[in-house]
């Protein structure tokens, strides 16, 4: 960027879990941020929380990206946009199996609307992808050239299709530069405990269920199987602190602005490169918080892969980014957020 003035970044889904943390990191890196969100899975009070953390209230437009005209009109009102970080989507694997059309509508049509609205503009675009595109990897750690397997859910398929749409659009000479970030398992919350994950209904993911059980909002935790081919029999994942994940998005934008990209479409694994089992997470939570968890070993959950963790050397070398926080810090921050939201319900 010329001079010290940073560009304006549009963050779709910016009041959501990962989006809000990324808005904080963008603002603290000097970027001006504009958020589009339809508040279908987040709360507008997050804007005040962001302002409390950074001192800057982001520009906010309540808009559903399925509204093609609305998207065209709003994007036209942003002539000096430098980049877009696209988080807005539905993300529940289980729900996607029951409601596939909702997922193709909300995760694909919204992306196409956004790309049509910016057609021909020289923009930097960061896409929220997922390690779910790898399925059960044949080789661990899994790297970015690992084969993309047939998706195990409509949700996972929307991420694979989203990557294909972006790759083909970027290669069609649309002046678009695209960085697709394949997230592993984001957990935890900002150190201020003012923003964090706000699951609606019963959390499907492990860490929010653990924290809600620990605070008494949920009952017994079920560990979905301890008879897998792992050291303690439970599944292994690459958990990454949501703040580290947010910082990876800023690194991706900076790299594109500095014209350090090697292609118009690139993918990066964003994880810690380490795997932890479900039982290791449970035991770490008890150790870090001093809270004894009420859990039992139950049956396997359908669709679960056994183990995955990322080869993150490409992000380290190319994005100049490495995850800083370990599992203990992730879980301590998740617990601090759970206690905050319990005393300050939105």
Residues with a catalytic annotation lie at 155
- 40 makes contact, choosing from ligand NAD, ligand WQD, none, with CB < 5 to 8 Å by partner type, with ligand NAD
Residues 6+ apart with CB under 8 A from 187: 197, 205, 207, 239, 240, 241, 242, 330, 331, 334
The distance of closest approach from Cβ of residue 30 to ligand NAD in the complex, given in angstroms and rounded to an integer, is 23
Residue with the CB atom nearest ligand NAD in the bound state: 16
Of the candidate spans 13-21, 215-223, 249-257, 338-346, the one that interacts with ligand WQD by CB under 6 A turns out to be: 215-223
Structure-block tokens of residue 24: 């904080």
The distance of closest approach from Cβ of residue 203 to ligand WQD in the complex, given in angstroms and rounded to an integer, is 7
Q: Is 204 in the site for ligand WQD (CB under 6 A)?
A: yes
Q: How far is C-alpha 313 from the chain's CA centre?
A: 19
Whole-angstrom Cα distance, residue 83 to residue 68? 19
Q: Which is nearer to ligand NAD, 160 or 185 (CB)?
A: 185
Q: Which of 124, 130, 153, 179 binds ligand NAD (CB under 6 A)?
A: 130
Whole-angstrom Cα distance, residue 70 to residue 117? 10
Residues 6+ apart with CB under 8 A from 262: 318
What secondary structure does DSSP assign to 186-235, as a single string?
EE---TTSSS-----SS--SHHHHHHHHHHTSS--EEEE-S-SSSSSSS-
Structure-block tokens of residue 304: 């679960």
Q: Which is nearer to ligand NAD, 177 or 182 (CB)?
A: 182
Q: Which is nearer to ligand NAD, 1 or 202 (CB)?
A: 202
Q: Is 209 in the site for ligand WQD (CB under 6 A)?
A: yes
Site string for ligand WQD, 52-91 (x = CB under 6 A): ---------------------------------------x
């Amino acid at each position: 960027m010329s001079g010290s003035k940073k560009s304006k970044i549009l963050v779709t889904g910016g009041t959501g879990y990962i989006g809000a943390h990324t808005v904080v990191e963008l603002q603290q890196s000097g970027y001006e941020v504009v958020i589009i969100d339809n508040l279908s899975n987040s709360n507008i009070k997050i804007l005040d929380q962001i302002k409390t953390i950074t001192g800057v209230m982001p520009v906010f437009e309540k808009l559903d990206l399925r509204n093609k005209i609305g998207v065209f009109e709003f994007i036209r009102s942003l002539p000096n946009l430098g980049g877009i970080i696209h988080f807005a989507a539905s993300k529940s694997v289980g729900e996607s199996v029951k409601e596939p059309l909702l997922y193709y509508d909300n995760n694909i049509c919204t992306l196409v609307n956004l790309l049509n609205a910016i057609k021909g503009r020289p923009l930097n675009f960061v896409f929220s992808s997922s390690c779910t595109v790898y399925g059960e990897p044949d080789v661990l750690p899994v790297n970015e050239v690992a084969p993309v397997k047939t998706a195990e859910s409509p949700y996972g398929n929307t991420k694979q299709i989203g990557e294909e749409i972006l790759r083909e659009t970027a290669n069609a000479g649309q002046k678009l530069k695209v960085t697709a970030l394949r997230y592993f398992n984001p957990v935890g919350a900002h150190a201020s405990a003012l923003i964090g994950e706000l699951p609606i209904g019963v959390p499907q993911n492990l860490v929010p269920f653990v924290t809600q059980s620990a605070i008494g909002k949920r009952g017994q935790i079920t560990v979905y199987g301890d008879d897998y081919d792992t050291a303690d029999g439970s599944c292994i994942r690459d958990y990454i602190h949501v703040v580290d994940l947010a910082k990876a998005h800023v690194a991706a934008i900076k790299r594109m602005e500095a014209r350090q990209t090697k292609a118009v479409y690139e993918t990066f694994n964003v994880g810690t490169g380490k795997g932890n089992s479900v039982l290791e997470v449970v035991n770490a939570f008890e150790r870090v918080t001093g809270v004894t968890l009420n859990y039992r070993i139950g049956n396997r959950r359908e669709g679960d892969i056994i183990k995955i963790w990322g080869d993150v050397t490409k992000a380290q070398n190319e994005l100049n980014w490495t995850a800083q926080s370990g599992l203990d810090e992730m879980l301590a921050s998740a617990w601090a957020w759970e206690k905050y939201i319990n005393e300050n319900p939105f």
